[in-house]
Chains A and B, each alone.
Chain A
């Protein structure tokens, strides 16, 4: 009897600790704001955006190598239900986000380039952890999408 009791107590402690990652995908999270920003990376002839966060800029330079990053457009959506919402940072790109399971923090998304599907997938938005998506080459530079998350 005592053995069973102690076993249950220990499993009760272990389950939340070791199972927290496994169960994370099934736990609802507060509503979030998804911000999609389109940047053009280029070495010359564009106006550099001084508001880019230093760590993001450092990452963009490391990934793409350009010295200047101009913000082309920005849009935000609030995917708080399973109704798809679409952000259009400019007239080229659109990103539709929706929650398949409202009880889960995972969102499905589809990225389109002029109505042609580029990517379909899913992600768990996390504040402070942006998603950087490599876009097409444009002129002498590179189009880059950055998906940020903010808690509401």
Chain B
């Protein structure tokens, strides 16, 4: 983990950020100095990682880092998406045409054909042509 690409990106990002306050500020200064002196050893990365974790676990005072974005924003976004998906499903799945009841001995099915919606009803009695329909 400490040598992974994602961790290195985190360190690069932290180094490039504007100076913070308190522990975070000292951590950034140390990281910049070690980066300039080409001393980013595994030990240093472990130390930086530990301090970074401790800093991020402290109350947020204003500045939002990329790590906080991942930690706080993405779960919020996922939760909101789930709520919207649930509302969509509970609202009737957006079906434009619903058949609730059919007459006795009749069966109905709905489907789409071209741009039209079709209700295919079966079970009618035959009507002879002698029966006037107009």
Contacts and interface: CB of A to CB of B under 8 A. Distances in A.
Given A92-B133, A117-B101, A136-B124, A14 B80 contact: yes
B94 interface: yes
Interface residues of B, number: 46
Interface residues on A, range: 35 or more
A19 B117 contact: no
A25 B87 CA distance: 12
B5 interface: no
A126 B84 CA distance: 24
A135 B98 CA distance: 18
A103 interface: no
B116 A119 contact: no
A75 to B, nearest CB: 13
Interface in B83-107: 84, 87-88, 91-92, 94, 96-103, 106
Contact of A59 (B87, B92, B98, B116): B116
Interface in A1-60: 1-3, 6-7, 10-11, 14-15, 18-19, 21-26, 40, 55-56, 58-59
